[in-house]
Structure 1
Amino acid sequence: MSSSVSLRRPGFLTGVLATAGIASSFTQTMVAPLISQLPGIFDASPANTAWIITATLLAGAVSVPIAGRMGDLFGKKKMMLLLTLPLILGGMVCAVAPTVEIMIAGRALQGIGAGIVPLGIAMLRDLVPKEKLSSAIATVSATLGVGGAIGLPVSAAVIEFADWRVLFWASAAATLLVAIAIFYFIPSTPAGAAGQRFDGLGALGLAIALISLILAVSKGSGWGWTSTTTLGLFALAAVSFVLWGFWETRTKDPLVDLRTTVRPRVLLTNIASIFVGFGMYASMLVMPQILQLPGSTGYGLGQSILAAGLWLAPPGLMMMFLSPVGGRLSNKRGPKFTLVLGVSILALGYVVGVVGMGTTWGILATGLVINSGVALAYGAMPSIILSAVPRSETASANGFNTLMRSLGTTIGAAVIGLVLAQMTIPLGGVDVPSEAGFRTALLIGAGVSVLAAIIAAFIPAAKAKLAEPALEKELVSAGK
């Protein structure tokens, strides 16, 4: 398929890449309705079944930056197709898993597919005309949140009316269809960094650092924050990051060009991404629990898993609806404006949550406002990154930005989880989060979102615009 053909139907290509993104991000949250049932299903302790979630986080964190760089080196379409394989295989493994260990292995395979979204965003730079690029980027980027948002109601419905294993068969089948669509309809694009070598040592160093950090953050509350294991992992992560950074600044073809990432426009966007990821995920931990806790608590809304999922479905759809709107806003006012506006709306959503958490309609309104902010913010961040990096680094730079968002969600899960675990009331012989705990979590989400808005406000948009002609010249030269 020629590039001229692709330019005549950018909407269709964007739709295919967005569908691929939803298929990938859906797998990250599809087990959420199963969490409480997993110990009984596999006759295992909650600590062991928790690895079904952790394995996906770890595999995704390692895969995203590596897949991005390999996309720049060997072609983004090839890497997208390659990443669909572990998604399909992982779904099949989970569908037949007889033990928790095999289930963990299947979920780790699914986590490897997390690199599809940043690769899809990077491909848009080659496939979509400039006047439609911002909207296309916003649409595909939003699938990181859309897939997760619709994962809960869809999974809950499947689990309610069918065997839970059907969920994984369906996921594998959907990903297979996505792979076929990518193969037939997405044209191949030149490898922007063709001729360079893959930084294997850098990939190993980053993997060690990320696994150590995510394990310490996600497991610290269970192991104890001052335990030898947790502190040792934090220390290993710190040392590994330092050594990795030292290597990356001295090797000829680094996995991540740190000289690019420290440009103020890229650096501040990535830092803001951590806080935006935190802000998005905090609501995903709070709202489903409020909806499902019994009314006898005085603040729970007594909804079933399926009903709770249905109440949370419209906010997920809102993200997809608003994403192209955010792209058009970025075209008119710049992606920095859209990012600041988005995280400001995100903060407002948490304020709505504090006021409206006592009713299902209040929770719905909270989700709509929060996800509106996430849609605008998630769509703007890749546009800022793409405007500040050369074409040879589009996939790796977007992969690194996606990694920052993932780190934000991991940190958010740990912090909000700790708050809710510490502020509890007894209910039927077990402790459940208290109303004060939920309100505290919502206020933390608001505070983090405000901090993200402040950081985003300092992104040097005007200076970046002055540099764009030189950057465009660099990109044209690289594309020859």
Structure 2
Amino acid sequence: MSGARPERAERAIVVVVALAAGVAAMTQTLVVPLLGELPALLHAGTAGTFWVVIAAMLGGAVTSPVIGRLGDLYGKRRLVLVVLALLTAGSLLCAVADSLAPMVAGRALQGVGMGIVPLGISLLRDVLSPRRVGAAIALTSSVLGVGSAFGLPVGGLVAQLGDWHLLFWGVGLLTAVIAVLVVWLVPVAPGLAHGRFDLVGALGMTAGLTALLLAISHGGEWGWSSPTTLLLFAGSAVALVAWAWWERRVTDPLIDLATATRRPVLLTNTASVVVGFAMYAQILVVPQLLQLPVSTGYGLGHSMISAGLWMVPAGAAMMIASPVGARLSAARGPKFSLVLGTVLIGLGYVACLGWLGSTVGLVFGTVVTNAGVGFAYGAMPALIMGSVSPGETGAANGFNTLMRSIGSSMAGAVVGVIFTRLSTSVGGADIPLRGAFVLVAVTGVVSSVVALVVSGVIPVRHVRKPPENDSPGLVAVPSSRVRSE
């Protein structure tokens, strides 16, 4: 970065990038309150309408590393605008949809918007002064969870009080406004990586991950030993092995596997899978427990809106935790924040387990867990970027976002299997038993312990802290590898 940028300008950049990432993340859970009504609204079967959720999840998971690499090559600000345009188009398509096909297509485009998270993180590293980078990256990373948490009450409120299409008209308008703000307030990053885009690698990774995520998401419904599930797992394994073989031999790989398998990066990404699992499992089960009828003996009887509003403190806790975590990372290192985050995630699940029949107890548990997720998500990009060059930050953070998405997909699969096996029929509808919620909470505690162990063995590289007027890049990159945007 040439010269010092005014403090007000830097704050505006952080707000715009974080807002863009938060809105993209919010679209992932915006339709969750609508799931029970979607078959009637879209004139489709229950199994088909579940693709409204899956399409966004798949779109975000498989495109984040691709978008990150494109940002490294062709300009992160430019790719942010492209992704915002796709997110706007997908939202508008959903806004006019009254059948399944256009709705699923629009949701897939909305899923691509998740690429804003790795793009925004790497862009902030390039354009902000060093003293502001840590807090800005922590905030942008944590909004992945914050946006998901706030999507629930927003979706429930609009669905219960108005036309559900307004959800998507609102998102489309908001993303269009954000795009204007990006053009106005966000500067062009100072340099780009050299190389070509690895199209073969992108196609191979997309095929392998799509098959894997479909098998994970639908294995419980189709049967884990069914031919379809086994074929998807086998196809995924073959595609990903072939992709890895190609990536190690191509000159400009989509994902540098030598970097991805470097111990700090590998362990951080492994922790990301487990933290993503813990976060999404809680998002899936707590609102259901809040909404189950009191007559079940363990349900809390809240309406859709009320349950969504009770989840707001969890999102707020994650947002508050992110700047605190950034200060802790600056003082004690990002590994400390990640370890602390995994401890809080486990304690939050323990609280939920102890107060399963109390609204206040459940909310307290979600607040503690989400504060832990805020610490963890804020620390992960710092750990990743401490091990890669500036020309690799977009792809590396995109891969980290992918790992979080895989964790979320695994949570959906595990919760689905538990609820299917431990449920009873009441009035023609299947309702999870109390034991199902207990088992999910126990699984959350176990996952937090696994994340704690993995986080504890991440090696830390101590680097010289740059002066405030230095370039915000954390690792030097040879001039032959960088070009001007």
TM interval, short-chain normalised: over 0.9
Query: 1:360 maps to what in 2?
Result: 359
CA distance in 2, matches of 1:389, 1:50: 38
SS of 1:432 mapped into structure 2: strand
> How far apart are residue 443 of structure 1 and its match?
0.5
Matched ranges for 1:422-441 at <5 A = 422-441=421-440
Query: 1:474 maps to what in 2?
Result: 476
> How far apart are residue 282 of structure 1 and its match?
0.9
Structure with a larger share of its residues in helix = 1
| Cα pair 2:292 2:299 within 8 Å, conserved | yes
| Cα pair 2:196 2:252 within 8 Å, conserved | yes
Matched ranges for 1:57-456 at <5 A = 57-193=57-193, 195-456=194-455
Query: 2:48 maps to what in 1?
Result: 48
| Cα pair 1:349 1:370 within 8 Å, conserved | yes
| Cα pair 1:63 1:113 within 8 Å, conserved | no
| Cα pair 2:127 2:190 within 8 Å, conserved | no
Query: 1:18 maps to what in 2?
Result: 18
CA distance in 2, matches of 1:19, 1:450: 32
CA distance in 1, matches of 2:317, 2:448: 19
> How far apart are residue 211 of structure 1 and its match?
0.5
> How far apart are residue 333 of structure 1 and its match?
0.5
> In percent, how many aligned pairs have the same letter?
46
CA distance in 2, matches of 1:131, 1:192: 23
SS of 2:264 mapped into structure 1: helix
CA distance in 2, matches of 1:175, 1:233: 35
Per-residue deviation, residues 94-113 of structure 1 (Å, max 9, x unmatched)? 11112111111111111111
> How far apart are residue 44 of structure 1 and its match?
1.1
Is there any run of 5+ residues in structure 1 with no aligned partner, and where?
none
CA distance in 2, matches of 1:135, 1:422: 43
| Cα pair 1:3 1:127 within 8 Å, conserved | no
| Cα pair 1:217 1:411 within 8 Å, conserved | yes
| Cα pair 2:69 2:392 within 8 Å, conserved | yes
> How far apart are residue 479 of structure 1 and its match?
5.8
Distance change in 2, residues 1:135/1:41 (3 Å): same
Query: 1:465 maps to what in 2?
Result: 462
Distance change in 2, residues 1:130/1:476 (3 Å): farther
> How far apart are residue 473 of structure 1 and its match?
6.0
CA distance in 1, matches of 2:278, 2:474: 34
Per-residue deviation, residues 327-349 of structure 1 (Å, max 9, x unmatched)? 00000000001001001100110
| Cα pair 2:150 2:312 within 8 Å, conserved | yes
SS of 1:460 mapped into structure 2: coil
TM-score, with structure 2 as normaliser: 0.95
Per-residue deviation, residues 246-279 of structure 1 (Å, max 9, x unmatched)? 1101100000000111111101000110001001
CA distance in 1, matches of 2:6, 2:393: 19
| Cα pair 1:356 1:363 within 8 Å, conserved | yes
CA distance in 2, matches of 1:191, 1:151: 35
| Cα pair 1:135 1:327 within 8 Å, conserved | yes
Is there any run of 5+ residues in structure 2 with no aligned partner, and where?
467-472
CA distance in 2, matches of 1:66, 1:227: 31
TM-score, with structure 1 as normaliser: 0.96
| Cα pair 2:139 2:378 within 8 Å, conserved | yes
Letter in 2 for 1:50: F
Count of equivalent residues: 476
Letter in 1 for 2:323: P
SS of 2:119 mapped into structure 1: helix
SS of 1:270 mapped into structure 2: helix
SS of 2:187 mapped into structure 1: coil
Letter in 2 for 1:74: Y
Query: 2:470 maps to what in 1?
Result: none
> How far apart are residue 133 of structure 1 and its match?
1.6
The range that moved more, 426-435 or 246-255, is 426-435
SS of 2:225 mapped into structure 1: coil
CA distance in 1, matches of 2:419, 2:396: 35
Per-residue deviation, residues 335-371 of structure 1 (Å, max 9, x unmatched)? 0010010011001100000011211111110111011
CA distance in 2, matches of 1:473, 1:63: 26
Per-residue deviation, residues 301-323 of structure 1 (Å, max 9, x unmatched)? 00000000110111101111111
